[in-house]
Amino acid sequence: MAKTPLQFRHNGRDVAIFVDGGMNLLTALRDEVGDHSPKFGCGQGGCGCCTVLIDGEPALSCVTLAETVAGKSIQTADGLKTGPELHPLQTAFKENFAAQCGFCTPGMLMAAKALLDRNPDPSRVEVVEAISGNICRCTGYEPIINAILAAAARRAERRA
Amino acid sequence: MLELRKDIFADERDDNLKEIGKPTQRQDMLGHVTATSTYFNDHKLQGMLHLKVLRSPHSHARIRRIDLSEAERHPGVRRIIRGADVPRNLNTLLSLINFGKDDEPTLAVDKVRYKGEPIVAVIADSQREAFEALAKIRVDYEPLPTVFDVEEAMKPGAPVVNETYPKNTFTYHDIYDHQKLRFGDVERGFAAADHILEQRYQMSPIEQAHTETNGSIAAPDTNGRYVVYTSTQALFFSLDTCAKILDVPSNTLHFIGGTVGGGFGGKVDTVTEPLSILGAMLTGRPVRYVIEREEEMIYCAPRGAERIYIKDGIARDGRILARQFRCFFDSGAYTRLSSYAVVKCAAHLPGPYTIPNVSADVYCVFTNRVPATAMRGFGVTAVDFAIECQMDKLAHLVGMDPMEFRLINAYRDGDMKAHRREAKNTALIECVQVAAEKAKWPIRDEFKRMSSRKDGGGARAAIPPTPREPIVVNRAPGQQRTTYDRPAPPAPEPLRSPPPPSPPSAPPAAQPSHGAIRFSSVFGARRR
Amino acid sequence: MPVTVKTFANPTEAAAALSSDRSARYLGGGTLLMRALNEGDVSIATIVRLEDRSLTQVRASGARITIGAGVTLVQILRDRELSFLHASARLIGGPAVRTSATVGGNLFAPAPYGDLTVALLALDATVAVMSGYGARDIALEEFLSSRDRSPGALVLSVTCDRPATPEAFRFRKVARIKPKGASVLSIAASLPAVGGRVSNPRIAYGAMAPTAMRAKAAERALEGRTLDEAGVAAAVAAAAEGTAPATDAIASAWYRREVIGVHLRRLLLGQAG
């Protein structure tokens, strides 16, 4: 099968891979780059487990044609830590018991990051809307919403 | 936040406990938030192939012919697996504990019994090539009459779904087509009752909808073994099931489970491993079989629909005098765990209430639907829904408050339960009282003073006279030998006169079996 | 056949590639096409992409607004000139879907999806389509009735009315899951008023037919009326006329026909849903 070269920035590093025609970004990240943090839940863009950031905007990697991200900057949950230090969202999820099976967690974290990067002090309604494209079958969502609000509050404290 | 009602059963509490009553962080939470928790699919194996199955578009059909010639020639296709390639192509999940007969093929051969049943498996270099090859497979079907209703399936002349069970009901103890519970005499109870209420409850099948779909990756490993990364909830069950289906010693297989992306019962059925391992065996390469989302929602096992008839006789003071159940569990085309669900249901009746006369007949019925399996309290949750709706209706019938009505009928410590066991550590009364308090639902003082530890036992501890019913024997007793059993002992010399028939309830002695002793509740025989 | 991706810089070439190859599909935001590929649709072997900046432009100078087919829903939401479309765009997908979902793509979304198209239909939209015959404008209604029969057509832009006042254009989406979920039904209504009476109303429904549709009987019954209980009664009574909703996982056809009048009435009277 003919392969197309593809270069982009992945969690701050330049990567270069080859993709099959029609390959989606999720498969490219998992099978070619080796980043298993975005997950396959549906292949329909309906569950949000594959959520990544493309140039800072939330996107569903399973319905994104891999080739379209040439030259762009991709961020995944794998890149949230700074060295060994957890991102405030990761700490907040941990402290608020915002995961059980953990499968939706990488996507939730990226959807939350997209929100807080643009809107550092969201209302509860805005948090709910930010994760409205992410399905969780375990927690009932409340701990996740609390975690995101807690992360925003802690950041506000630090800035104050 | 969590509120612990330490005032209830205070004298039985031990607050010196290290873990109970205290919040504890999950041991895998750090893995979850750093996306390092490893799910089955988080492995990249060199040269991995992709497996997809062809599924029947018919609910019931004979397979006349399967033409794989074009598909086999498709670029990228490494191997196509048919039913004839599966070493032991008939299995049932609970055969590992000698419960039930092998009734389900891994790949259908002469017949399909539900829409979505797998027929062949294509293994190709890429997912796209597997899909393309699937589109080139030609199957000639001869559609057969279907049955989708549990009661229709039990009528004489109904289409036979599964030839292993020709009357479309699972067989218990070799001769019974249902689970039976009898305690006291419901007909006398109904005769003494002031009101009778008979209702029908119908559940829908329910999909577990775990966010991660079923799947596995199997690969040849060192020393002739196969490593299998799997999403299963039942690691050892799946390993032994695969050893049986593939006819290999179980130490050939190295199953690695780990974090499951949600199960809820939808990953207990050993869904993908037999084919991914067989694929690895036949191609000599790693093989990945992941169920797609639509496949999962439509064709993978839900919890089966249940039809529940409850007939109650009730006195005007609110005491339930007699309760009779007829329940029909829709197992779909194959047994899976529905046989066990029925046992759990029967064991749960008549609910947490002391009722002097109880009768239940619970059936596991086969229809041309997707086979049913476990989901969140299967066997119990649905019948509880029916029971509690019934309780509300009964309360309304006698003009009582529904909470107080439940408190009157609740079981108490020392009562005899319909299963002839003494009720111990009951707590329904306290649960209802706290629920009423939280909901600000007023109940009268005398009901607030009730306790699980008061007013039980005494006359309520007696086992009432229970009329015997004639046993209806559907077929001659026998013990089906499964291919998983060790070889039978050599046949005895033929006798001059025929030996007397063995009693139906005693299983044949001294037959080696796997783990049967531990699961005595399934057989109903207590081994004390 | 393996999938090939072809990227063009101008619409004529892209349209030619689409019409000459039965296995070719156009890639808008990807929510429909990539899903089909993921699920094993082997009838798609060529992906046609168009990198043309005019596709992502909005021209909002006159009484009618032209929106490039490649404009995304998040782009609409961040554009104050398009505030009349925010009610419909905000309720589509989640934030990540809105990042890539396009105006052009929404025209192809099957029922019960396609809520932006419902809004555009009520705004007297036309569609600029490039085909083998060159570019032409066709009424959105005509486009929708023939869209499945002309797979080679390439949508370049959509042009619609700019409502005179915010109250003159209303949108409502009825869904079981909030804030976003697939539609039980959606309603868009353009209600210009002359002397306190509705003049030339346009009412469009989503999920009440195989594509977005105009509720012409309701429109006729609303012409010249006031937007009060008595004035809307005839339109509400005619609400379900001409509808052919499907029974799907979201709702039954019966239920949709039962409640369309209830929701139309609430929309016309400005009541909460």
Q: Which residues of B touch C42 (CB under 8 A)?
A: 128, 131-132, 135
Domain spans of chain A, in order of start: 3-79, 88-159
Which residues make beta-bridge pairs with B410? Answer: B353
Are C89 and C126 contained in the same domain?
yes
Are B65 and B200 contained in the same domain?
no
Check residue C1 and give its pLDDT: 85
Question: How close is the nearest chain A Cα to the Cα of C39, in Å?
Answer: 7
CA dihedral angle for residue C99, residue C105, residue C106, residue C112, rounded to 10 degrees? -110
Are B202 and B213 contained in the same domain?
no
What backbone phi and psi angles, to 5 degrees, belong to B265? 100, -15
- Do C157 and C66 form a contact (C-beta atoms < 8 A)? yes
Tell me how long chain C is: 273
**C244 close to B (CB below 8 A):** no
Q: What is the DSSP letter of B74?
A: S
Are C97 and C195 contained in the same domain?
no
B186: closest CA among B474, B524, B469?
A: B469
**C5 close to A (CB below 8 A):** yes
For chain A, give percent helix, strand, coil, nearest 5.
Answer: 40, 20, 40
* C161, C180, C204 - which closes a domain: C161
pLDDT tens readout for residues B87-109 = 999 999 999 999 999 999 999 99
Are C234 and C258 contained in the same domain?
yes
In this complex, the residue of A30, A49, A94 whose CB is nearest that of residue B33 is: A94
Mean of per-residue pLDDT scores for chain B:
91
pLDDT tens readout for residues B217-267 = 999 998 999 999 999 999 999 999 999 999 999 999 999 997 999 999 999
**Confidence category of residue B128, pLDDT binned at 50, 70, 90:** very high
Secondary structure (DSSP) of A100-140: SS-SSHHHHHHHHHHHHHH-SS--HHHHHHHTTT---SSS-
Is-cis flag, bond preceding B507, omega within 30? no
In this complex, the residue of B132, B135, B294 whose CB is nearest that of residue C39 is: B294
**Burial status of residue B475 (CB atoms within 10 A of its CB: 0-12, 13-18, 19 or more):** exposed
Q: Whole-angstrom Cα distance, residue B235 to residue B250?
A: 12
Check residue B490 and give its pLDDT: 62
Mean pLDDT of A134-157: 95
Check residue C167 and give its pLDDT: 87
**A4 close to C (CB below 8 A):** yes
pLDDT tens readout for residues C2-13 = 999 999 999 999
Nearest-Cα residue of chain C relative to residue B294:
C39
Mean pLDDT of C93-122: 96
Question: CA dist A27 to A17, A34, A43, C25, C26, Å?
Answer: 12, 9, 10, 21, 21
In this complex, the residue of B52, B128, B294 whose CB is nearest that of residue C2 is: B128
Mean pLDDT of B450-470: 93
Q: Whole-angstrom Cα distance, residue C93 to residue A46?
A: 8
Q: Does some domain include residue B271?
A: yes
Task: Give the mutation candidate from B2, B34, B77 for the A interface (greatest A CB count, under 10 A).
Answer: B34
Check residue B33 and give its pLDDT: 98
**Confidence category of residue B502, pLDDT binned at 50, 70, 90:** very low
- Do B277 and B220 form a contact (C-beta atoms < 8 A)? no
**C132 close to A (CB below 8 A):** no
Mean pLDDT of B347-354: 96
pLDDT tens readout for residues B326-341 = 999 999 999 999 999 9
Are C190 and C121 contained in the same domain?
no
**Burial status of residue C270 (CB atoms within 10 A of its CB: 0-12, 13-18, 19 or more):** exposed
Q: Does some domain include residue B501?
A: no
* B346, B372, B398 - which closes a domain: B398
Are B224 and B137 contained in the same domain?
yes
pLDDT tens readout for residues B56-65 = 999 999 999 9
Q: What is the distance, to the nearest Å, from the Cα of residue B177 to the centroid of all Cα atoms in its chain?
A: 17
**A20 close to C (CB below 8 A):** yes
**C1 close to B (CB below 8 A):** yes
Check residue B481 and give its pLDDT: 52
Q: What is the DSSP letter of B104?
A: B
Sign of the CA dihedral running C37, C38, C41, C45: positive
pLDDT tens readout for residues B198-220 = 999 999 999 999 999 999 999 99
Question: How close is the nearest chain B Cα to the Cα of A157, in Å?
Answer: 22
Q: Whole-angstrom Cα distance, residue B362 to residue B502?
A: 26
The CATH code of the domain that includes C173 is 3.30.390.50
- H helix or E strand, kind and range, residue C154: strand C154-161
Q: Give percent above pLDDT 90 in chain C.
A: 88
Sign of the CA dihedral running B396, B399, B401, B404: negative
Does domain A3-79 sit in CATH 3.10.20.30? yes
Task: Identify the top-confidence range among A110-119, B483-492, C150-159.
Answer: A110-119
Are C157 and C179 contained in the same domain?
no
**Confidence category of residue B525, pLDDT binned at 50, 70, 90:** very low
Are B137 and B214 contained in the same domain?
yes
Sheet holding A51-54, edge to edge: A13-20, A3-10, A73-75, A51-54, A57-60
Range of the domain at C121: 54-161
Are C80 and C179 contained in the same domain?
no
Are C183 and C241 contained in the same domain?
yes
Check residue B462 and give its pLDDT: 94
Secondary structure (DSSP) of B199-256: EEEEPPPB----SSPPEEEEEE-GGG-EEEEE--S-HHHHHHHHHHHHT--GGGEEEE
* B398, B415, B430 - which closes a domain: B398
A24 Ramachandran zone, left/alpha/beta (phi>0; psi -120 to 50): beta
Task: Say yes or no for a CB contact (<8 Å) between C40 and B292.
Answer: yes
Task: Give the mutation candidate from B30, B41, B211 for the A interface (greatest A CB count, under 10 A).
Answer: B211
Mean pLDDT of B468-476: 63
Q: Does some domain include residue C189?
A: yes
Task: Say yes or no for a CB contact (<8 Å) between B132 and C42.
Answer: yes
* B244, B273, B299 - which closes a domain: B299
Task: Say yes or no for a CB contact (<8 Å) between C96 and A48.
Answer: yes
Nearest-Cα residue of chain A relative to residue C6:
A21
Are C126 and C100 contained in the same domain?
yes
- Do B216 and B230 form a contact (C-beta atoms < 8 A)? yes
Are C105 and C119 contained in the same domain?
yes
**A42 close to B (CB below 8 A):** yes
Task: Say yes or no for a CB contact (<8 Å) between C38 and A4.
Answer: no
Tell me how long chain B is: 528
Task: Say yes or no for a CB contact (<8 Å) between C35 and A67.
Answer: no
Q: Give percent above pLDDT 90 in chain B.
A: 84
Number of structural domains (chain B) is 2
Mean pLDDT of A126-144: 97
**C87 close to A (CB below 8 A):** no
**Confidence category of residue A15, pLDDT binned at 50, 70, 90:** very high
Q: Does some domain include residue B485?
A: no
Q: Is C45 helix (H, G, I), strand (E, B) or coil?
A: coil
Q: Whole-angstrom Cα distance, residue C180 to residue C3?
A: 33
More confident residue, B486 or A73: A73
Q: Does some domain include residue B2?
A: no
pLDDT tens readout for residues B302-333 = 999 999 999 999 999 999 999 999 999 999 99
Check residue B23 and give its pLDDT: 81
Question: How close is the nearest chain A Cα to the Cα of B53, in Å?
Answer: 17
Range of the domain at B108: 49-144+209-299
Q: Which residues of B touch C1 (CB under 8 A)?
A: 132
pLDDT at B172 over 60: yes
- H helix or E strand, kind and range, residue B341: helix B338-348
Are B53 and B101 contained in the same domain?
yes
Are C36 and C89 contained in the same domain?
no
Question: How close is the nearest chain A Cα to the Cα of B372, in Å?
Answer: 20
A154 CB-near residues (< 8 Å, 6+ apart): A88, A92
- H helix or E strand, kind and range, residue B53: strand B49-55
Q: What is the distance, to the nearest Å, from the Cα of residue A104 to the centroid of all Cα atoms in its chain?
A: 10
- pTM comes to 0.91
Mean pLDDT of C191-219: 96
The CATH code of the domain that includes B221 is 3.90.1170.50
Check residue B505 and give its pLDDT: 43
Which residues make beta-bridge pairs with B201? Answer: B308
Are C144 and C156 contained in the same domain?
yes
**Confidence category of residue C62, pLDDT binned at 50, 70, 90:** confident
In the block, residue with structure tokens 């790949």: B107
Q: Does some domain include residue B126?
A: yes
pLDDT at B285 over 60: yes
Superfamily per CATH, domain A88-159: [2Fe-2S]-binding domain (1.10.150.120)
Are C121 and C93 contained in the same domain?
yes
Task: Give the mutation candidate from A19, A51, A101 for the B interface (greatest B CB count, under 10 A).
Answer: A101
CA dihedral angle for residue B473, residue B479, residue B481, residue B485, rounded to 10 degrees? 140
CA dihedral angle for residue C30, residue C33, residue C36, residue C40, rounded to 10 degrees? -100
Number of structural domains (chain C) is 3
Question: How close is the nearest chain A Cα to the Cα of B230, in Å?
Answer: 15
pLDDT at B485 over 60: no
**Confidence category of residue B132, pLDDT binned at 50, 70, 90:** very high
A48: closest CA among A77, A72, A22?
A: A77
The CATH code of the domain that includes B158 is 3.30.365.10
* C125, C142, C161 - which closes a domain: C161
